[in-house]
Amino acid sequence: MTGAAILIVFGGLPGVGKSTIAAEVARRLRAAYVRIDVIEVAMARALGLPEEADIGPAGYVIAYELARSNLALGAPVVADSVNPIGETRTAWREVAASVGAPCLEVEIACSDVAEHRRRVESRLGDPAALSPPTWAEVEARVYEPWPQAHLRIDTAVLGVETSATAICEAVARLAGV
């Protein structure tokens, strides 16, 4: 399936497999892939900021507009970010609504705490991320419950391929394909 304007919004803590799955879904759907980390790295580099600089909400605001412009062209969009609070999730829904596109919200988690920690601690430097968080930073991160998520994926149970297939099937149902 390609060519249908739909917004697939990902959320979840660092290290749960969110970006790996989001990228696979974007590849399968031939969707625009809007990743907050990429935007924030580009902003920091362009502005000559140190790696640990707090970009604030600017990365999300830019991502919302990139998503809106692609949706308005009729393209599917995968939005990849931690998406930790209700305010950002509401903003994504408003982006989709502003152009009459459906929105699928996908929360990625890893219920196996030891596995989640292993993933966080073994992450190699990602050129798209300013700096990988430590396990202590992941544990301390504010992450509000996401009661309205349409789909929840537990990567302690499902692998990348199975997760991506489940998400693409949900996209097809939502798009009426």
Assign residue 127 the CATH number of its domain.
Answer: 3.40.50.300
pLDDT of residue 136: 92
Q: Is 100 helix (H, G, I), strand (E, B) or coil?
A: coil
pLDDT of residue 129: 61
What is the CB neighbour count within 10 angstroms for residue 109? 21
Range of the domain at 164: 7-175
E strands, 67-132, are 77-80, 103-109
Overall number of domains in the chain? 1
Averaged over successive runs of 10 residues, the pLDDT of the chain (177 residues) comes to 81 94 97 93 87 83 97 96 93 97 96 94 69 87 88 95 96 84
pLDDT of residue 128: 59
Residue 2 lies in a domain: no
Residue 1 lies in a domain: no
Residue 158 lies in a domain: yes
pLDDT of residue 176: 77
Q: Which of 43, 103, 42, 37 is nearest to 67 (CA)?
A: 103
